[in-house]
Chains A and B, each alone.
Chain A
Amino acid sequence: MWKYDPVLFSRVLTELTLTFHIIYATIGVGVPLMIAIAQWVGIRKNDEHYILLARRWTRGFVVTVAVGVVTGTAIGLQLSLLWPNFMQLAGQVISLPLFMETFAFFLEAIFLGIYLYTWDRFENQKKHLLLLIPVAIGSSASAMFITMVNAFMNTPQGFELKNGVITNIEPLVAMFNPATPTKVAHVLATAYMTCAFVLASIAAWHLMRGNRHIYHKKALYLTMKTALIFSLASALVGDLSGKFLAEYQPEKLAAAEWHFETSTHAPLVLFGMLDENNNIKNALIIPNALSILAHNHPAAEVKGLNEFPKEETPPLYIHYLFDLMVTLGVFLTVVAAVYWLGKIFKWKFVAKKWFFGLLVASGPLSMLAIEAGWYLAEVGRQPWILRGYMKTAEAATSSAHVDTMLILFSILYLILGIASAAVLINMFRKNPVERELAERSGQQEVMAE
């Protein structure tokens, strides 16, 4: 018999909202930085192409911001609507960064409004660029504050829980919990990386289709170089995240790595399958690598999953999420490095159609890695919502109708997703670069006369 389970539906609805929101949120965090870089380069080199690049990215950006804002509002409310027990408990300790996030968002919203409508109001372009700084700071700070809340869910501290009553609350200690540094750094670096790849995809798309306008070449070079820098940063932070997990959330690392017995010289398991007795088959095994990832030493001891009570360990399929995230991350870093080296040493194949095709795929693949990473982070924390204090099942609402709301929001996200993509495609197809460049140079000639 089918039975209505509000916990299950609350989880699915939250997953759905986050899966959708994270796409727009990532764009919201990374693209302002990319716009700032392009505008800065444009001013420095006095190159109209980069200025136009910044202008066009901005126009696309506002469409994604709108969806980010409305889905962000949705998840903000859903936290209380779907997880009232969790918010009642955690709200007492971790509401400070949530509250500060609204200020960061406020700042971003105000200055984005100003930035958008003042392109031609300033004689000095640098003044206009200055307006973008609060936007970039606001959006990155938003991401930081929200990630602090998520970090707190993984390694809660800054309070004492006695008989269901919370005492000795220290809001700053809760904010700066052990998971905060690596998580915040990882979220920001990967957001910048992903946005660089997404924008590179667009330029590569035009080049692949045979449009060899210098505008697209400049765009591709700028975005790929940025992508390479942030890919390397992400890899570095990813390594630190491994060390953080080994220290503070060993069960998450062990489950992601299918590392069952505590051992020294622990190997890193990639891909593969598990049989019914949890024996690993067909996997790629790299000796000592897990010990290095966890403790920077090939002989170091890594805690195995069997050390933990079975009902307190995450599901083992997170291994595949980990593999997906890492494989994509490494692959994209290599692609960016090959492109960059190819440009320096003038390798012919980096201007071949198939290589552009690869670059077109880089944006979507990077976004996929973001999704896999968040699923790994969230599913890897199960069964806890607040690790060690509250299980997900205890936190959910007992309301009826969560299933109906799931349908309602599925339809909403479907419409928003299709509509935002259609609007973006339409917007740029109606107004191709060549035409806009011609119009702008025409305008300038008129002004010069």
Chain B
Amino acid sequence: MTLEIVGISVLWLFLFGYVIVASIDFGAGFFSAYSDFAKKKHILHKIIQRYLSPVWEVTNVFLVFFFVGIVGFFPKTAYYYGSILLVPASIAIVLLAIRGSYYAFHTYGGTERNWYLLAYGLTGLFIPASLSIVLTISEGGFVEKSGETLTLLYKELFVSPLTWSIVLLSITSVLYISATFLTYYANEAGDMQARELLRKYALSWSGPTILSALLIIYQLRHHNPEHYSNMFNIAWMFAISCLFFVLTVYLLWKKRHFGWAFISLLLQYAFAFYAYGISHYPYLLYPYLTIYDGFTNQAMAIALIIAFIAGFLLLIPSLYLLMRLFLFNKKYVKGQL
């Protein structure tokens, strides 16, 4: 295993962590805002608030970790992606800023502003959409290089069906992942009314996620044949992912083992996410940048990996403590603390 592979695997793991944690957060925020407008606030509000309160800041760190890490391991990404992502990334920052600050203002400051609540709920959908654009761009065809200047082709990006398929997958996934997790969480809390509502949401968003994923694979066939054929070489990973999908839906349908249903969902996404990443190999940005020509030097790579291991040893017990005190603390979940 080369250092390049170690580096990208670690980063991919953190990106996966972000996708899951952020999806729960974004979806929870959306459901919370939606329930307010749909007059179902009393059902969902409490359960979501209890989950969100202690963890919102941690979510953001996963993202920061990913982008700082990728510039560390692959400094050329700063040049390639930095040059082209100015507008999409700035929009994502603004949305993240509105979301993060609203949450704190609202929860700790007690501000109640309807338009801000609406904005908060919507950012839960817009942020994943705007971040997913980066994956679309990485497939190539949207960046023009003339000499040393890189330009993002906004029009091509905007009218491409691939863009919209990926946006669709990101939004439906957010709602599906979040609803499945919160179903489990509500069940733990013994709040049956919330559980049933969330279970209904989870089931209704399950189908659209698979449809949009298939749509992406179909688009890639035309857009990036190389990636498409790589995906076929590891079709077994996608097959396993599908099996887990079926298992999750089955468990949700039968109202059984909600914890396992969520774990099965995690495995479904992990297999699909890694299969996507592996088939993307070795490109960071088609066709300009691979993990090999973008990699940092040996000394820095080793230093970063050591720092990573040390940091990880520090974080695991801390995260464990956080989870024990809140997420998996029966009394806290039930609102008795």
- A88–B111 contact, CB under 8 A? no
For residues 70 through 128 of chain A, which have their beta carbon under 8 Å from a beta carbon of chain B? 70-74, 76-85, 87-89, 91-93, 95-96, 98-103, 105-107, 109-114, 116-118, 121
Q: Smallest Cβ distance from A69 to chain B, in angstroms? A: 6
- A109–B61 contact, CB under 8 A? yes
Q: Does B83 make an interface contact (CB < 8 A)?
A: yes
Name which of A59, A83, A95, A121 has the most chain B CB atoms within 10 A of its CB: A95
- A102–B65 contact, CB under 8 A? yes
Instruction: List, in ascending order, chain B residues with CB within 8 A of A66's CB.
Output: 57, 100-101, 103-105
- A113–B54 contact, CB under 8 A? yes
Which one of B64, B101, B319 lies within 8 Å of A102 (CB-CB)?
B64
Which one of A62, A78, A95, A405 lies within 8 Å of B104 (CB-CB)?
A62
Give the interface SS of chain B, mostly helix, strand, loop or mixed. helix
CA distance A208 to B322 in the complex (A): 42
Residue of A nearest to B297 (CB): A169
Instruction: List, in ascending order, chain B residues with CB within 8 A of A106's CB.
Output: 58, 61, 65, 311, 315, 318
Residue of B nearest to A174 (CB): B300
Which one of B68, B104, B105, B308 lies within 8 Å of A76 (CB-CB)?
B68
- A interface residues, tally (CB under 8 Å): 74
- B297–A70 contact, CB under 8 A? no
Q: Does B87 make an interface contact (CB < 8 A)?
A: yes
- A110–B109 contact, CB under 8 A? no
Instruction: List, in ascending order, chain B residues with CB within 8 A of A88's CB.
Output: 75-76, 78-79, 82
Residue of B nearest to A85 (CB): B79
Q: Smallest Cβ distance from B78 to chain A, in angstroms? A: 3
Q: Does B217 make an interface contact (CB < 8 A)?
A: no
Q: Does A263 make an interface contact (CB < 8 A)?
A: no
Instruction: List, in ascending order, chain B residues with CB within 8 A of A92's CB.
Output: 75, 296-297, 300
- B304–A113 contact, CB under 8 A? no
Which one of B57, B304, B337 lies within 8 Å of A95 (CB-CB)?
B304
Q: Smallest Cβ distance from A142 to chain B, in angstroms? A: 11
Q: Does B235 make an interface contact (CB < 8 A)?
A: no
CA distance A356 to B240 in the complex (A): 70
- Contacts A71-B97, A409-B94; is A99 near B308 (CB within 8 Å)? yes
Contact with A along B196-228 (1 / 0, CB 8 A): 000000000000000000000000000000000
- Contacts A69-B57, A73-B60, A95-B75; is A63 near B308 (CB within 8 Å)? no
Q: Does B53 make an interface contact (CB < 8 A)?
A: yes
- Contacts A87-B78, A423-B109; is A105 near B61 (CB within 8 Å)? yes
Select the stretch in A289-297, A380-388, A412-420 that faces chain B.
A412-420
- B79–A419 contact, CB under 8 A? no
CA distance A166 to B300 in the complex (A): 12
Q: Does A153 make an interface contact (CB < 8 A)?
A: no
Contact with B along A303-324 (1 / 0, CB 8 A): 0000000000000000000000
- Contacts A66-B104, A170-B299; is A426 near B109 (CB within 8 Å)? yes
Q: Does A212 make an interface contact (CB < 8 A)?
A: no
Q: Smallest Cβ distance from A281 to chain B, in angstroms? A: 45
CA distance A76 to B109 in the complex (A): 27
Q: Does A171 make an interface contact (CB < 8 A)?
A: yes
Instruction: List, in ascending order, chain B residues with CB within 8 A of A408's CB.
Output: 90-91, 94
Q: Does B43 make an interface contact (CB < 8 A)?
A: no
Q: Smallest Cβ distance from A127 to chain B, in angstroms? A: 12
CA distance A118 to B314 in the complex (A): 21
Q: Does A399 make an interface contact (CB < 8 A)?
A: yes
Q: Smallest Cβ distance from A357 to chain B, in angstroms? A: 28
Which one of A84, A95, A103, A416 lies within 8 Å of B300 (CB-CB)?
A95
Q: Smallest Cβ distance from A191 to chain B, in angstroms? A: 20
Q: Smallest Cβ distance from B16 to chain A, in angstroms? A: 16
Instruction: List, in ascending order, chain A residues with CB within 8 A of B318's CB.
Output: 106-107, 110-111, 134
- B299–A171 contact, CB under 8 A? yes
Instruction: List, in ascending order, chain A residues with CB within 8 A of B83's CB.
Output: 84, 397-399
Contact with B along A155-186 (1 / 0, CB 8 A): 00000000000110111100000000000000
- Contacts A100-B311, A103-B311; is A401 near B296 (CB within 8 Å)? no
Q: Smallest Cβ distance from A64 to chain B, in angstroms? A: 9
Instruction: List, in ascending order, chain A residues with CB within 8 A of B319's CB.
Output: 110
Instruction: List, in ascending order, chain A residues with CB within 8 A of B308's CB.
Output: 99
- B82–A113 contact, CB under 8 A? no
CA distance A389 to B273 in the complex (A): 40
Q: Does A430 make an interface contact (CB < 8 A)?
A: yes
- B311–A419 contact, CB under 8 A? no
Q: Does A437 make an interface contact (CB < 8 A)?
A: no
Q: Does A148 make an interface contact (CB < 8 A)?
A: no
- Contacts A106-B61, A420-B101; is A99 near B68 (CB within 8 Å)? yes
- Contacts A87-B75, A91-B71, A98-B71; is A427 near B65 (CB within 8 Å)? no
Instruction: List, in ascending order, chain A residues with CB within 8 A of B89's CB.
Output: 77, 81
Q: Smallest Cβ distance from A31 to chain B, in angstroms? A: 14
- B109–A77 contact, CB under 8 A? no
For residues 418 through 444 of chain A, which have their beta carbon under 8 Å from a beta carbon of chain B? 419-420, 423-424, 426-427, 430
Instruction: List, in ascending order, chain B residues with CB within 8 A of A76's CB.
Output: 64, 67-68
Q: Does A360 make an interface contact (CB < 8 A)?
A: no
CA distance A398 to B100 in the complex (A): 30
- B109–A70 contact, CB under 8 A? no
Q: Smallest Cβ distance from B334 to chain A, in angstroms? A: 15
Q: Does A402 make an interface contact (CB < 8 A)?
A: yes
Residue of B nearest to A397 (CB): B83
Which one of B149, B296, B297 lies within 8 Å of A398 (CB-CB)?
B149
Q: Does B86 make an interface contact (CB < 8 A)?
A: yes
Name which of A113, A116, A427, A430 has the most chain B CB atoms within 10 A of its CB: A113
- A171–B303 contact, CB under 8 A? yes
Q: Which residues of B contact A (CB under 8 A)?
A: 53-58, 60-61, 63-65, 67-69, 71-73, 75-87, 89-91, 93-94, 96-98, 100-101, 103-105, 108-111, 149, 296-297, 299-300, 303-304, 307-308, 311, 314-315, 318-319, 321-322, 325-326, 337
* Cross-chain pairs A/B with CB under 8 angstroms, 21 sampled: A66-B57, A66-B100, A66-B104, A70-B96, A70-B97, A78-B93, A80-B82, A81-B86, A88-B75, A89-B75, A93-B300, A99-B304, A100-B311, A109-B57, A109-B58, A109-B61, A111-B318, A114-B322, A134-B318, A399-B83, A409-B90
Closest 9 CB pairs of A and B: A66-B104, A91-B75, A95-B72, A84-B82, A87-B78, A423-B109, A103-B311, A80-B82, A70-B97
Known interface pairs A92-B300, A96-B300; 15 further A-B residue pairs with C-beta atoms within 8 A, sorted by A's residue number: A66-B103, A69-B100, A70-B97, A74-B97, A77-B93, A84-B78, A84-B80, A87-B75, A95-B71, A95-B72, A99-B307, A110-B322, A118-B325, A405-B86, A416-B101
